[in-house]
C-alpha cells in the first residue's frame, strides 16, 4: 500500500491571542504540524516568537485581503484590505505581506494560502500560482504534490452548524479515507476568551479538543499514516 502523509495546518495564526493559544495547544498536545501566519495582525509577533521556539511547527503565510460573512442571505464585508478584483492592488499587498513575513520570521514561507480561500478565484488564482512558482512552495489547492482537505470544519459556507464534522468520529472518518500521497488537513483552532468575534468563534475550541484527543494520534499510528509538516517534506515542484 502506498504511503500516506498528513500535514495538519492551522489557519489564522497570529490573528488573536486566543487563536495563538489554540494553535500552541494543538501543536504541543495534538496533531497540528504547520500553521499559516496572518502578518497584518498585532498578535503575529507572539505567533512568530512561539514558532521560533518550536521549529517543528512549519510556518507559511495566510494572505489576508479581507473577510466576509453571510448575513441575511448575502455576503457582506467584515473588513477589506484591498479589493480582490483589483490585481494591481492585490500584487502590491502580496508584496507587502510577504516582506512582513520575511522581516518577522527571517525566511520565506514554507507554503501559501489565503484567508477564506480567496486565491481560488480569478484574477487572484493566476497571480498566486505565479507567486508560489517563484518561491517554489506549495499553494493550497494548486500544488502538484500536496492535496488539500477542508472537511474538518464545523459549518457550511453560509454558516449553518455542522458539529459532526469537528467530532472525533468525523476526523477518524477523514483519516480512514486519506488517499496515498501527501494531504494537507486544514483546521482553525482557538481557545479562551480572546477570540475574534466571528460566526466561527465557538467551533474553534471544539476543534482543539478533537485535535488533541488521544484517539486521533493512536488512529494515525495504527493506520500507518505519517504526520509531517511542510518544512519536513522536500518538494520537487510547487504548483501544478
pLDDT of residue 71: 82
The 10 Å CB-count burial string (b at 16+, else e) for 175-186 is: beebeeebbbbb
> Are 86 and 123 within 8 A, CB to CB?
no
- DSSP structure string for 162-178: -GGGGSHHHHHHHHHTP
Residue ranges of alpha helices (H) inside 29-69 are: 44-53
Q: Which three cell numbers stand for residue 215?
A: 484517539
Structure confidence at residue 237 (pLDDT): 58
Catalytic residue among 11, 21, 84, 213: 11
What are the beta bridge partners of residue 5?
182, 226
What is the helix (H) or strand (E) element at residue 12, kind and residue range?
A: strand 4-13
Active site residue 11: yes
pLDDT at site 35: 98
- Tell me whether strands 66-71 and 74-80 are parallel, antiparallel or unpaired: antiparallel
Residue by residue, DSSP assigns 150-162 as ----SB-TT--B-
Please give the chain's pLDDT, 240 residues, in tens.
Answer: 589 999 999 999 999 999 999 999 999 999 999 999 999 999 999 999 999 999 999 999 999 999 988 888 888 888 999 998 899 999 999 999 999 999 999 999 999 999 999 999 999 999 999 999 999 999 999 999 999 999 999 999 888 999 999 999 999 999 999 999 999 999 999 999 999 988 899 999 999 999 999 999 999 999 999 999 999 987 765 666
Q: List the domains of the chain with CATH numbers.
A: 4-232 (3.20.20.370)
| Alpha-carbon gap, residue 78 to 87, rounded angstroms | 21
DSSP string, 19-37: HHHHHHHHHHSSS--EEEE
Q: Give the SS3 label for residue 78.
A: strand
Grid cell digits, residue 110: 514554507
pLDDT attached to residue 61: 98
Interatomic CA distance for residues 222 and 119, integer angstroms: 36
Give the per-residue pLDDT at 234.
Answer: 75
What kind and span of H or E run contains 77?
Answer: strand 74-80
Contact between 48 and 37 under an 8 Å Cβ cutoff? The reply is yes
Q: Give 186's strand partners.
A: 9
Confirm whether pTM is higher than 0.85: yes
Contact 65, 84 (CB under 8 A): yes
Amino acid at each position: 500500500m502506498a504511503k500516506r502523509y498528513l500535514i495538519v495546518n492551522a489557519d489564522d495564526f497570529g490573528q488573536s491571542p486566543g487563536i495563538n493559544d489554540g494553535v500552541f495547544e494543538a501543536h504541543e498536545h495534538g496533531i497540528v504540524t504547520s500553521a499559516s501566519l496572518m502578518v497584518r495582525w498585532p498578535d503575529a509577533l507572539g505567533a512568530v516568537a512561539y514558532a521560533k521556539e518550536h521549529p517543528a511547527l512549519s510556518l507559511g503565510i495566510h494572505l489576508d485581503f479581507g473577510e466576509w460573512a453571510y448575513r441575511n442571505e448575502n455576503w457582506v464585508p467584515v473588513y477589506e484590505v484591498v479589493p480582490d478584483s483589483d490585481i494591481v492592488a492585490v500584487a502590491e499587498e502580496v508584496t507587502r505581506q510577504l516582506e512582513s513575513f520575511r522581516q518577522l520570521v527571517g525566511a520565506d514561507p514554507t507554503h501559501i494560502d489565503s484567508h477564506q480561500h480567496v486565491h481560488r478565484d480569478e484574477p487572484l488564482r493566476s497571480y498566486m500560482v505565479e507567486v508560489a512558482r517563484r518561491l517554489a512552495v506549495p499553494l493550497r489547492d494548486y500544488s502538484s504534490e500536496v492535496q488539500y482537505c477542508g472537511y474538518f470544519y464545523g459549518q457550511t459556507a453560509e454558516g449553518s452548524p455542522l458539529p459532526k464534522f469537528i467530532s472525533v468520529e468525523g476526523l477518524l472518518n477523514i483519516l480512514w479515507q486519506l488517499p496515498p500521497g501527501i494531504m494537507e488537513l486544514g483546521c482553525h483552532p482557538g481557545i479562551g476568551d480572546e477570540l475574534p468575534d466571528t460566526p466561527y468563534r465557538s467551533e474553534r475550541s471544539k476543534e482543539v479538543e478533537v485535535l488533541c484527543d488521544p484517539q486521533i494520534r493512536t488512529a494515525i499510528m495504527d493506520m500507518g499514516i505519517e504526520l509531517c509538516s511542510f518544512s519536513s517534506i522536500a518538494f520537487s515542484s510547487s504548483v501544478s
